[in-house]
Structure 1
């Protein structure tokens, strides 16, 4: 999909939505990154996605694992993935180019893409992504990089019954 000089390619698996985007040369001057706002109609939630990278001039010493809204600290990449998606669900993502100086960013014209994640077990085929690298970063952030036995029951809450076979 291309609109407002932004091209979006969205791929939805069961638990991951991968977004790839590009912006025309004419829209790159002063670009600081992209803010992403997710809408989940099922949960009736709308919020700006968060990340861990910040502008040093705005947040010089973030706490380990602290996350910041992409509206104030936009993603400085042309690809991004939502690893918190749930299976068989509709989501929309508004991708907003952010311009100006850190601390006083302004929004450019946005593009919204809607996806439907795959069910865990589909009739014809299923789509799965290897979430290992990013999942380990999230585990370290969420549980202060403690061993599962020390971190408490939290690390195992999302485990299905067949996890013991892994």
Structure 2
């Protein structure tokens, strides 16, 4: 599978060692992009197609939830996964309500659990994309039928 056929995952964490570890672990399975902070992540989202975004919650300057809120404004399509090393239920609630996350995982992450979560998130992403494409086609068909019906009624 070449890079253009791989799922594109953006991993955001303020700890460079975590970025290196994630990339080393998943680079063969996914197209991995990394960002050291929220601003860099936003820039990457603006310039790249992203399928899955995984972000740490506790980062200086911008929390993971705040980052996801900003990303939704730019592109609401990518599936969002939040990681945190702290049992902060307030952050989890905010992530669900504000960041519209797909899944929440604790740090340190398990390779197997994170891989399964990425794959499940992508399945949902692909299904949602298919539904939206079908809906768009139905809208066009509906408009065409309405036009034909108007023409028939006017003639």
The answer to which structure has the higher helix fraction is 2
Measured against the shorter chain, the TM-score band is under 0.3
**Which protein has greater RCO, CA pairs closer than 8 Å, 6+ apart?**
1
The TM-score normalised by the length of structure 1 is 0.22
The answer to which structure has the higher strand fraction is 1
